[in-house]
Each structure stands twice: as structure tokens, then as C-alpha cells.
């Protein structure tokens, strides 16, 4: 018998996050461990009159590809995947990793090259479909979070099964203030960063593209970023964990990057392309139901009282001008020692907002 919470999440993803309609083409990409949820999402989409289909990713497939593919295979462009996404109205991704460290020994240059090759497919999905990403609770994710599977299931479902329309109204208040702002300043004992968001568009993230959600994100005037920032929550990309990252910016470009753990990976990702050295996104975590990091960016970047900067590609709806094959969120916890100013006005202190 399927867990009632799984049925509720399936309905949430289909009816609220992506608003599946009759006759729409719905691509459901699911890892095998998310089978119960994938079938519930599939059933819901059929009941709404849509035309859904399932794609599954076998554990170990990505490792084999990056380990054994020759350069011409890494650079091969999958026209069939482009054709599929062009015939997709709604994309629902149900991640359920068997091994979160699967790609940790792979040369990151091979991964970044592949991301560059398939960037047009990713761009089409992000910009021209309605999409949502959900991470199904697995033993691997629970271990990363240092929880039992049962505890992690409760953590995940409790973060998702809330009143998202009420969340949306609260986020809209911060959006109004941020859209009226020119200069943003972030200060703490290890951070002093300043930049402009003038003329950019903040987006309310209220469960329509990520689940769980609860953030506000925008883009920065690319050349305006100056100062330094230390990210005290682990930065994770393709299973690689980079800890205690400090970045220094001059006129929008990373000029110095240090990490206590995985310095080599950090440097290789920064060398992906010109845009990977710049900030594509400022995100503000406003989900106070998520109170602790679990080494999963989908959750960690939403923690109420945090901010994150994404190196690399920015989102068109925020009016970002930065392009890159990567989009790597790095999270700063401001709950114990942090301030944010909008045009010299203190709007957040130690994680508490005054808007």
C-alpha cells in the first residue's frame, strides 16, 4: 500500500507545481528508487487527461559514461533528447539517488564539457516547459543528512505538504522591497559583499519549480559584485562536496577562490567557461520550516535566514545576462552573525527579516 504522503506529494506536483492540463505532454524522469511516487504522478497525469511518459535513470549509468566515454562521445550531441524536450509541455524530475558520491572520482572537466554540450537542451527545459524537481527520500540522502530513513522521510514530506499559497504571499512582500532596491550589502564577521540588483526582476519561488521551495531569487548587475564572502554550508555539485568556500570578487569576477576541502574541484568548475566565474543568481532562503542543512542543495538553499549565490548561468526571467554551462549554488548562513542592507536600510539581522 502506497504511503498516503506520497499520494499527496504526487497531487501537489501535478496540480499545483506544474498545473498539468488535458492533452499536455508530460515527461516524468524518475530514478528507480522513486518508483512509488513516479507511478502516482503518472496516474495523476492520466486522470487529468494528459499524455505522460516515464524515463528512468539506472544507478551507475552516469559513472560508466564519464569513466569510459571517449572525447568524441563526451562531445556527442543527443538530437533525440532535444527532440523529446521540444515535444514536452511539462517536465517532472523525481531524483532518488542510490549513491550520491557516484561521480566524485570523475574528472570534473569531463562533466563540465558534457554540460556545455547539452546546454541547449537544459535551456529549452528551463525556459520553455513547466517543470519541477523533487528529491525522493532514500537511504543515501538520509545518510548524508545524518538521519534515519524514517526521520528523513518526515523531514521531506513536512517541508513539502504545507500551504504554498500562503508562502507565496509572504515571499511577495520581500520581492516588492528587493525590486525597488539598487544596492545590496551582505555583512558578517567573515563576509563583506556589495552589488547592485537595479533593473533586475526578483522571482517568487513558491513550489512551482522546486519542491520543497521557499526562496526569492534574482540576478545581479554582473560587473557590480565586489568584496568577499565565506560560504559555511557545504557546496555540492555532481556528488562532489566542497567545504568552507571563500570567494573574492572584483567588478563581478571571481579573483580568488579558496576551499578547505576539494580545492581542485572548485578551481576546475570555475574554469568551465567565462560565465562560471560570475554570479548568475542571488537567492534568499525564506522557508523557516527547514532549519538545518542536510547536504542537499534543493533543501539547504531554502533554509530561512540564509542567502546563496549561484556561480554560472542566470535565469532569463530575472533578466540575467550571465551564461554558463554550470549553475552552482553556494549557501551562506546568516542566522548567528549576519546583516543584509537594501540601499543602506537594515532589512535582515541574524536571520530575521524586518520587512
Residue 239: the pLDDT is 81
Residue 238: the pLDDT is 83
Residue 2: the pLDDT is 86
List the one residue out of 262, 258, 270 whose CA is nearest residue 105: 262
List the one residue out of 21, 26, 91 whose CA is nearest residue 52: 26
Question: How far is the first Cα of the chain from the last one, in angstroms, to the nearest whole number?
Answer: 45
Does 3.30.420.40 match the CATH number of domain 4-160? Answer: no
Residue 1: the pLDDT is 81
3-state secondary structure of 138: coil
How many C-beta atoms surround the C-beta of residue 271 within 10 A?
Answer: 13
The label of the residue with cell 569531463 reads 110
Residue 355: the pLDDT is 83
Rounded Cα–Cα distance for residues 253 and 138 (Å)? 38
Residue 310: the pLDDT is 97
Rounded Cα–Cα distance for residues 329 and 235 (Å)? 7
What is the average pLDDT score of the chain?
Answer: 96
Question: Would you give per-residue pLDDT tens digits along the chain (355 residues)?
Answer: 889 999 999 999 999 999 999 999 999 999 999 999 999 999 999 999 999 999 999 999 999 999 999 999 999 999 999 999 999 999 999 999 999 999 989 998 899 899 999 999 999 999 999 999 999 999 999 999 999 999 999 999 999 999 999 999 999 999 999 999 999 999 999 999 999 999 999 999 999 999 999 999 999 999 999 999 999 999 999 888 999 999 999 999 999 999 999 999 999 999 999 999 999 999 999 999 899 999 999 999 999 999 999 999 999 999 999 999 899 999 999 999 999 999 999 999 999 999 8
Beta strands in the chain (DSSP E): 25-30, 51-56, 90-95, 130-135, 183-188, 191-196, 203-205, 210-211, 215-218, 226-231, 235-237, 240-250, 253-261, 279-285, 306-312, 327-333, 339-342, 345-349, 352-353
Enumerate the domain spans of the chain: 4-160, 164-353
210-260 per-position pLDDT tens digit: 999 999 999 999 999 999 999 999 999 988 899 999 999 999 999 999 999
Strand partners, 92: 28, 132
Residues sharing a CB contact under 8 Å with residue 323, sequence separation 6 or more, in sequence order: 275, 313, 314
Amino acid at each position: 500500500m502506497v504511503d498516503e504522503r506520497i499520494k499527496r506529494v504526487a497531487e501537489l506536483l501535478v496540480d499545483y507545481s506544474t498545473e498539468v492540463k488535458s492533452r499536455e505532454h508530460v515527461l516524468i524522469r524518475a530514478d528507480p528508487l522513486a518508483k512509488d511516487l513516479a507511478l502516482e504522478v503518472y496516474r495523476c497525469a492520466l486522470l487529468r487527461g494528459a499524455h505522460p511518459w516515464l524515463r528512468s535513470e539506472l544507478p551507475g549509468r552516469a559513472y560508466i559514461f564519464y569513466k569510459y566515454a571517449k572525447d568524441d562521445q563526451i562531445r556527442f550531441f543527443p538530437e533525440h533528447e532535444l527532440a523529446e524536450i521540444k515535444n514536452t509541455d511539462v517536465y517532472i524530475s523525481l531524483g532518488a539517488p542510490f549513491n550520491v558520491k557516484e561521480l566524485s572520482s570523475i574528472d570534473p572537466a569531463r562533466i563540465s564539457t558534457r554540460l556545455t554540450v547539452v546546454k541547449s537542451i537544459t535551456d529549452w527545459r528551463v525556459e520553455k516547459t513547466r517543470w519541477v524537481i523533487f528529491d525522493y527520500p532514500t537511504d543515501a540522502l538520509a545518510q548524508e543528512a545524518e538521519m534515519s530513513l524514517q526521520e528523513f522521510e518526515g523531514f521531506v514530506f513536512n517541508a513539502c505538504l504545507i500551504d504554498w499559497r500562503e508562502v507565496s504571499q509572504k515571499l511577495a512582500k520581500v520581492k516588492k522591497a528587493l525590486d525597488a532596491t539598487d544596492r545590496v550589502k551582505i555583512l558578517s564577521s567573515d563576509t563583506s559583499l556589495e552589488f547592485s540588483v537595479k533593473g533586475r526582476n526578483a522571482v517568487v519561488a513558491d513550489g512551482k519549480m522546486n519542491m520543497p521551495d521557499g526562496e526569492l531569487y534574482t540576478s545581479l548587475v554582473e560587473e557590480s559584485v565586489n568584496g568577499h564572502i565565506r560560504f559555511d554550508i557545504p557546496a555540492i555539485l555532481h556528488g562532489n562536496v566542497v567545504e568552507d568556500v571563500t570567494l573574492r570578487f572584483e567588478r563581478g569576477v571571481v579573483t580568488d577562490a579558496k576551499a578547505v576541502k576539494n580545492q581542485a574541484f572548485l578551481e576546475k568548475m570555475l574554469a568551465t567557461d567565462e560565465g562560471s566565474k560570475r554570479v548568475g543568481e542571488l537567492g534568499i532562503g525564506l522557508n523557516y520550516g527547514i532549519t538545518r542543512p542536510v547536504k542537499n542543495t534543493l533543501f539547504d538553499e531554502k533554509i530561512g535566514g540564509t542567502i546563496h549565490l549561484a556561480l554560472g548561468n542566470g535565469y532569463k526571467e530575472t533578466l540575467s545576462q550571465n551564461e554558463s554551462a554550470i549553475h552552482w549554488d553556494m549557501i551562506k548562513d546568516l542566522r548567528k552573525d549576519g546583516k543584509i542592507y537594501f540601499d543602506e536600510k537594515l532589512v535582515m539581522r541574524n536571520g530575521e527579516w524586518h520587512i
